[in-house]
Chains A and B, each alone.
Chain A
Amino acid sequence: MTVITKKPDSAIAHLTPEDIEELGRELDAIRQSVIDSRGESDARYIRRVIKTQRYLELGSRAVLLASIFPPAWIVGTAGLSVAKILDNMEIGHNILHGQWDWMRDPKIHSTVWEWDSASTAESWKHSHNELHHTYTNIIGKDNDLGYGIMRVDEDQRWTPASLLQPVYNFVNMLVFEYGIAAYDLELGATIRKKKRGIEPSAEFKENVRKTLRKIRKQATKDYVVHPLLSGPSFLTTLAANVTANVVRNVWSHSVIMCGHFPEGVETYEKAAIDPDETRGEWYLRQMLGSANISGSKAMHIMSGNLSHQIEHHLWPDLPSNRYAEVAPKVQALFEKYGLHYHAAPLPQQVYSAWHKVVRLSFPNNWLATTRPSNLPSQVKVLWKMARGSRAERRRLQERLDLEAAYLA
C-alpha cells in the first residue's frame, strides 16, 4: 500500500471531477432519506440497547458476588465482558458521535454521556470525532493511522525500531483503553516536544488531570469496590473484572484495526488534499479509506456497527442501527463508479490488519522477497539495514524493491 496518488494504477484515476460530485449528490440523497425517516423505532432501539446493557451489567455483577464458584465466575465474566463491549461500542461510541442527539433526550446526548473507558468522553470526542473523522487516512494528520506508535504505510520511514511494532501492537491490544486515553491526550507528541524543551500547555495538564481522575474512578469500581462487595469472592471477582476489561480491550482493538488497517485500504498524502476539498472528494476519501466486516446481526451490534465502517465514515452522525439498511445502496454506488467495496469476515480482516503490521515492521518489500530458501540471506540483509548507515540502508532498500518488482 502507498498513498493513493502515487500508485501506478490509482483506484480513482478513472473518475472525472463531475463523476465525483455526482457521487457526492447520490450519497447525500441516501443520507437525507435516513434523516427524514428517523423516528420512534430508532429511539426504541437505542433505549432497548441501553436497558439491556444495564440489566446485563447489573446481573453479571450480582452473579460475580458468588464468583468463588467457577460456574458463577464464567457466567458473570462472560456477561460483564459483553456488557462492557456494548457500553463502549454500540452505545458509547455512537452516542458520543451525536447519533442520538436528535431525540432531544437530555440523558442520551453527546454533551452529557460518559462511558466505561479510561478516556474521558470530552477528549475522545475531540481526537476521534473531530480529528480522525475529518482527516481520515491522511498521513501526518490522522493519528489513528498507527496511533503515532506504528508504521502502517510504506511511505512512512522504516527504522530498526519498527521491528518491534508487532509487540507494541499486541501490548496495546491488551490495555487498549489506556492506549486510547494516552492517544487522546496526545501524550507521545507532548513527551517528544518536552524533550525538545517545549513545555506542555495548561490545557494538556488539565486534560491529564481529568483523565487520571476518570481512570481512578474506573479502576476503583472494577478493582476495589466490586471485589470488596464480593467478600470471600474478592480475588475471583477481581480476576473476573480484569478479564472482562481485557476481553473488551482485545475485542475493540480488533474491530477498530479492521476499520482502516486491512491491506488495500487507501491512504492519502497531506499535500495531495485540496484545502477546499469538495463534499464529493471528502466522501470518496472516506469510502476508500475504510473497510467493513461482513457478518451476522450480532456481529454488527457487538462491533457498535463499526462493521459498517464505510457507512459510518460517510455519515458518522446517522443512527448506527440504520447503517445495515443503507449499506446495499452504498455498495451499489461503489459498483456504479467502479470502486472496490472493501468487506470481509472478521477473522480475515483481523488477519489482514495484523499481516500489515508485521509486513511494515520490516523494510518495504522485505517480507515479499523472503522465502524459506533465502531466509538466511534475507536475515543478513535485515541485519545490515538495521545496523548500517543511511546510505547502506538506501542501497539495500533499492535491491529489495528491484527484487520484488522482478518477482511480480
Chain B
Amino acid sequence: MSSAALRSTTQRATSSRSGGLRRSLRERLHTVVSAAVTPLEPSDVLDLFHPLRRGADLRARIVAVRAETSDAATIELQPGKDWAGHVPGQYIRIGIDVDGRRQWRAYSLTHGPRPDGHISITVKAVPGGVVSPFLVHQAKPGTLVHLEQAAGEFVLDHTHRKLLFVTAGSGITPVIGMLRNLFPVTDSGVLWDAAGRDRGEPKPLSITVVHLAPSEPQTIFRRNLAELHAAGAINLIPRYDDTHGVFDVATLEELVPDLAERTTYACGPHGLLDALEAHHAERGLELYTEQFRVGAVEAGEGGTLSIAGQTLELDGATTILDAAEEAGVLMPSGCRMGICMGCILPLKEGAVRDLRTGDVTVAVPGETPVAGLPVQTCISAAAGACTIEHKERVR
C-alpha cells in the first residue's frame, strides 16, 4: 500500500472517530434530557417552543388563505424544516383539526417549488364536506397543520413536448401546479418565454388544456388559465356544462385535432377517467391519470366485520374505516378517498369489496399470506364476513 493511500485511510479513520465522538456526545445529551423529562420525550418539550424545527414531526403553518372563487381558496403553507420538496403534479396529505377532531385529506400542490420555501394547495369546498369547507371558509393564518411529504406519480415526463391536459372541476389543481412551474406567473402576467427556450430545450412545449366545469364563474384558476392562454403558453379549450352541454369524450378529436401526437394527462372524477381510458385504449394513445373522488358505486352485500376486538355488522355501502371509527376504534386514516394508502390494514380472513371498482379481495387462512392481504379501509366495504387485524396503535 502506498503512503498516500495509507494517509488517506488514517485521515478517514480520524474523521470518523471525531464524528463518532460527536455522535456519542449527542446521544449522551439525549439520554440526559430524556431522563429529565420522562415520561415525556424530549421532542414533546421542544414542540412547545419550535414545532417546525428539524427533527420534529412534519407540520406546516398556514401563512395565508386567499379566495380563488366563492367556494375555493388557496392555502399557503410554510412547511417544517424537514420538508423534502416536491415535483409539480404531486399531492400532500394534511391533517387538520376540525371541530376538535383530526382529519387527514390529500390535496394537489398548486405551486411549483418557490424561493421562500412555501407551498400551497387549492381547495374547493365540497358541499356537506368536513375538511374542504373548513379550509376554504374558516382556516386562519397561524394555524398549525400536520403534513406528510409530497407523493404521487402524476408528474410530467419532460421527454414529452406535446401535451394534452384533460381536467374536470378541481382536477385542475395538480395541472395548475405543473403549469405554474413551467410558466411562472406574476402579477404582471405570465413569464413564460424565457422558461422554455433559454434553457436550450430542443422543442418548445405545446400544451392544450381541455378544462371541464359546470360553469365559468365556478372555475378555479379561471384567471390564471385565461392569462396563460392569452400569453400563448397554453391553448385553453374550456367546456362549460351550462353553455356547451355535458362533455362527451367522443368529441375530443374534434376539439384537439392533433390528439394522436399528444401525451394525455387527465385528472377528474372516475366517470371521465373511465371514458378517457376506453377512448385512448381504442386508439392506442398514451394516458396518465389521477383520480380525485370515490365515485358512486353499487353497494355490495355487507357482512360481519371483526376488528380490534369488536364485531360489527356492516352493510355493503359503509366503508370499514367509517364503521370502525363509528364503533370507537381509532383507525389509521388519511385522504379517505383511496389515493394515499394511509389507511391500509391487513385483511386476515374473509372478503371485502373495493367501492370504487367493485373488485373483491378474498383472504383465506392457509392459502393467502399469514400477514394478511393489505386493504384500504377507507374505500373497502365488507363483502361477507371478514376479519381485519388492527391493534389500535396509532400511526
Contacts and interface: CB of A to CB of B under 8 A. Distances in A.
Given A109-B394, A116-B39, A221-B38, A40 B48 contact: no
B101 A217 contact: no
Nearest to A224: B35
B100 A40 contact: yes
A102 B101 contact: yes
Interface in A202-229: 214, 217-218, 220-221, 224-226, 229
A54 B100 contact: no
B35 A106 contact: no
Interface in A46-80: 51, 54-55, 58
A47 B101 CA distance: 12
B93 to A, nearest CB: 14
Give the interface size class of chain B. 20 to 34
A104 interface: yes
Nearest to B37: A221
A226 B36 contact: yes
B33 to A, nearest CB: 9
Contact of B36 (A105, A114, A225): A225
A51 B395 CA distance: 23
A39 B48 contact: no
Contacts of B394: 106, 109, 111-112
A39 B35 contact: no
Contacts of A43: 97, 100-101
Contacts of B97: 40, 43, 103, 105
Given A54-B45, A104-B330, A221 B35 contact: yes
B392 interface: yes
Contacts of B32: 225
Interface in B115-150: none
A255 B333 CA distance: 39
A263 interface: no
B395 A106 contact: yes
Given A55-B48, A111-B393, A104 B36 contact: no
B99 interface: yes
Contacts of A217: 35, 38-39
Contacts of B36: 221, 225-226, 229
Contacts of A42: 100
Given A40-B100, A58-B45, A104-B101, A111 B38 contact: no
A121 to B, nearest CB: 8
A101 B395 CA distance: 14
A114 B32 CA distance: 19
A23 to B, nearest CB: 24
Nearest to B331: A104
A37 B225 CA distance: 43
Interface in B23-49: 32, 35-40, 44-45, 48
Contact of B101 (A41, A103, A109): A103
Contacts of A40: 97-100
Given A55-B48, A111-B330, A112-B394, A225 B35 contact: yes
B102 interface: yes
A54 B48 contact: yes
Contacts of A111: 330, 392-394
A48 B91 CA distance: 32
A38 interface: yes
A196 interface: no
Contacts of B40: 54
A104 B102 contact: yes
A101 B331 CA distance: 11
A195 interface: no
A44 interface: yes
Interface string A316-355: 0000000000000000000000000000000000000000
Contacts of B39: 114-116, 214, 217-218
Contacts of B98: 40
A193 B40 CA distance: 36
A40 B35 CA distance: 34
A214 B39 CA distance: 9
Contacts of A102: 100-101
Contact of A38 (B100, B330, B333, B393): B100
A51 B330 contact: no
A1 B16 CA distance: 74
Contacts of B102: 103-106
Interface of A: 38-44, 51, 54-55, 58, 101-107, 109, 111-112, 114-116, 214, 217-218, 220-221, 224-226, 229
Given A39-B99, A214-B39, A217-B35, 8 more contacts: A40-B97, A54-B45, A104-B102, A104-B103, A105-B97, A106-B394, A115-B39, A116-B39
6 contacts: A39-B99, A103-B102, A111-B394, A112-B394, A221-B38, A229-B36
Q: Which 6 A-B pairs have the closest CB atoms?
A: A43-B100, A106-B394, A114-B39, A104-B102, A39-B99, A40-B100
